[in-house]
Amino acid sequence: MNERERILDLVKQGILSSEEALVLLENLAKKSVTNQPADDKAADEQPEAEAETTVDQTEQALSDLNTRIATVSGNLDALSEQIRATHKQVAANEEQIIVLDTMEDLDTLTQEKYQERGRLKQENLQLNQQLTDLTQQQESLKSQLSELEQEQRQLTKQRIKDQVLGGEWQDQARDTLNDLGKTMGDATNQIGHIVKSTMSTVLDNVDWKDITIKVPGLATERFSHTFDFPESAATILDLKVANGDVTFKPWDQSGFRVEANIKLYGKMQAESPLAAFMERSRIDVTDDHFIFQVPNKRVQADLVVYLPDREYDHTTIRSLNGNINLDQVHGKDFYLKNTNGDIQLNNVQMVMLEAQGVNGSIKLIDGGVHDAFLETVNGDIKLKTTPVTAQLQTVNGTIRSTYTGEFKVLNASSVNGNVKLALPESIGLSGAAKTRFGSVKSRLSGVSVPTKSPKQLELTRAGDPVGELTVTTTSGNIQLKNTDEQD
């Protein structure tokens, strides 16, 4: 029983009068009012002290965490820079290896360059292993940094909560934020519905055939340049190009000229496109030799070479991707080799011609060649001149040859293609024509042919001189006729 209840009980018992009881109750009320602020103050000071202690602890933890984050982030940046530099070195080595591989394809790989390629490949093996280790370390640091940043966000939220949101304020703020979230959710749904409707209308009404979308591609640089060598008396020519056409043309000047249309693929560190081209080429012109080589697959160079009117002792042209064209060239030995592209010679005068192709046709039109060796894998061979000795060979293609004069030896062979020959009626023949799955058809005068289309035919005809002739095919047909006849 408290004091107020005791006073009321004493009044009921008649011990105290009403006036005395009122005085006592008033005094009791005054005492309660006087003591209440002190009690409240003591009660309020304790949570404030505890809150202040909590804020200090959170600040200290956050400061320590920021230090750890800065350390991990710095290590991650340094590691990323090391990985970037290693990737750059690997890419540089790979580009040089490709150049050396191209030099091998172009038959220009020296022993020194061969050893350099082996060293670069071994270095890249080590660098790639190093990249694997560095990448694992990078992933570990990224995971560690992510965890630290998550912890940082949690501590930051806790600090704001301790400093600003407490008691009723926390509840009120939570309610307000919940209401705001609900309102934003409703607004988002409405905006999403509007955007969806708008996009549907756009898709229905736009004529997409009129829309042109530019897609970023590989950076390219195009330019043209003319190289003049007015004083060179070279008779040895050596041209090797990874990508691009090579054309020989005659002119009435005493020196050489090369008109080059050049395209550079990808970014190249150089002062100018021409400087980048020169760094990736070998140009050496003296009175003895003319060397023009572009063995880089990131460079396309279409070359038109103007030749002085002279007899060239030795000419080599090698191309990986492009056509080779020679017009009115005079010389002794010519070696032409092409991987993807055609080879065509018009009105040339040569002692010996050796032309090899892989994916492309070979044409020798007019002029005079003493010995011709023409070979390709996927392409046709067309010969419209009369070499003294000729060997024509293809795997997947047709051989067409028209002779107008005397010859000593002619061998023509196709695996999966036809062979069509036209020979002068005035010369003798000695040889045979043979096919496995096709047939041999002959309209040669003086050569007897069985009634049925044979698979093998002896080619014997009297005359002087006598040309040796061997014609073979596996799955194609053989057609023989006199030169003056029309098909």
3-state SS, the chain, equals CCHHHHHHHHHHHCCCCHHHHHHHHHHHHHHHHHHHHHHHHHHHHHHHHHHHHHHHHHHHHHHHHHHHHHHHHHHHHHHHHHHHHHHHHHHHHHHHHHHHHHHHHCCCCCHHHHHHHHHHHHHHHHHHHHHHHHHHHHHHHHHHHHHHHHHHHHHHHHHHHHHCCCHHHHHHHHHHHHHHHHHHHHHHHHHHHHHHHHHHHHHHHCCHHHCCCCCCCCCEEEEEEEEEECCCCCCEEEEEEEECCEEEEEECCCCEEEEEEEEEECCCCCCCHHHHHHHCCEEEECCCEEEEEECCCCEEEEEEEEEECCCEEEEEEEEEECCEEEECCEEEEEEEEEEECCEEEEEEEEEEEEEEEEECCEEEEEEEEEEEEEEEEECCEEEECCCCEEEEEEEECCEEEECCCCCCEEEEEECCCCEEEEECCCCEEEEEEEECCCCEEECCCCCCCCCCCCCEEEEEECCCCEEEEEEEECCCCEEEEECCCCC
Q: Copy the structure tokens of residue 338.
A: 């092409």
Tell me how many degrees the CA angle 8-11-12 measures, rounded to the nearest 5.
90
Give me the long-range contacts of 130-133 (CB less than 8 A, separation at least 24).
Answer: 130/86, 131/83, 131/86, 131/87, 131/90
| pLDDT confidence of residue 364 | 95
Q: Is residue 79 part of a domain?
A: yes
Is 11 in the same domain as 147? yes
Regarding whether 174 and 154 lie in a shared domain, the answer is: no
**Residue 152: other Cβ atoms inside 10 A:** 16
The better pLDDT of the pair 270, 205 is held by 270
Does residue 76 form part of some domain? yes
Alpha carbon separation from 156 to 60, 67, 160, 325, 472 (Å, rounded): 12, 15, 6, 75, 88
Q: What is the pLDDT of residue 71?
A: 84
Share of the chain above pLDDT 70, in %: 77
Tell me the pLDDT of the chain averaged across its residues.
81
Whether residues 77 and 189 share a domain: the answer is no
Tens digit of each residue's pLDDT (9 = 90 or more) over 350-401: 999 999 999 999 999 999 999 999 999 999 999 999 999 999 999 999 999 9
Q: Pick the residue with more confidence: 27 or 300?
A: 300
Which one is predicted more confidently, 299 or 61?
299
Instruction: Report the C-alpha gap between 168 and 385 in whole angstroms.
Output: 106
Is 159 within the bounds of a domain? yes
Question: Are residues 14 and 78 part of one domain?
Answer: yes
Same domain for 3 and 129, yes or no, is yes
Query: Residue 38 — pLDDT band, cuts 50, 70, 90?
Result: very low
| Residue 185 belongs to some domain of the structure | yes
Residues 102 and 39 in one domain: yes
Please check whether residue 143 lies inside any domain of the structure. Answer: yes
The average pLDDT across 28-53 equals 54
Give the count of beta carbons closer than 10 Å to the beta carbon of residue 272: 11
**Distance set, CA 82 to CA 75, 87, 92 (Å):** 11, 9, 15
pLDDT for res 214: 46
Angstrom distance (rounded) from CA 237 to CA 235: 6
Q: Which residues, other chains included, contact 123 with Cβ-Cβ below 8 Å and sequence gap of 6+?
A: 93
> Which of 205, 226, 256 delimits the end of a domain?
205
Which of the residue ranges 145-149, 239-243, 308-312 would you say has the lowest mean pLDDT? 145-149
Strand 289-294 and strand 236-243: the pairing is parallel
Domain for residue 457, yes or no?
A: no
pLDDT of residue 398: 95
Measured in whole angstroms, the distance separating CA 446 from the mean position of its chain's CA atoms is 61
Please name which of 73, 76, 191 lies closest in space to residue 134, comparing C-alpha atoms.
76
Rounded Cα distance, 230 and 222, in Å: 26
Is the domain of 196 the same as that of 121? Answer: no
- In a domain, residue 109? The reply is yes
Other Cβ atoms closer than 10 A to 483: 15
Residue 213, pLDDT score: 43
State residue 462's pLDDT score: 82
Residue with tokens 């061998």: 411
Whether residues 88 and 153 fall in one domain = yes
Are 175 and 80 found together in one domain?
no
Structural domain containing residue 121:
1-164
In this structure, what token pair is assigned to residue 38?
């002190």
85 and 192 inside one domain: no
Among 181, 205, 229, the domain-final residue is: 205
Residues 154 and 178 in one domain: no
Name the pairing type of β-strands 330-340 and 312-321: parallel
Judge whether 3 lies within some domain.
yes
If asked whether residues 21 and 159 sit together in one domain, one would say: yes
Over 80: is that where the pLDDT of 196 sits? no
39 pLDDT higher than 70 = no
Mean pLDDT check: name the lowest of 62-76, 96-110, 124-138, 400-414: 96-110
**Over 50: is that where the pLDDT of 282 sits?**
yes
Query: Tokens 């009404």 sit at which residue?
Result: 205
Considering 107, 135, 164, which residue would you say is the last residue of a domain?
A: 164
Give how many domains the chain has, as a whole number.
2
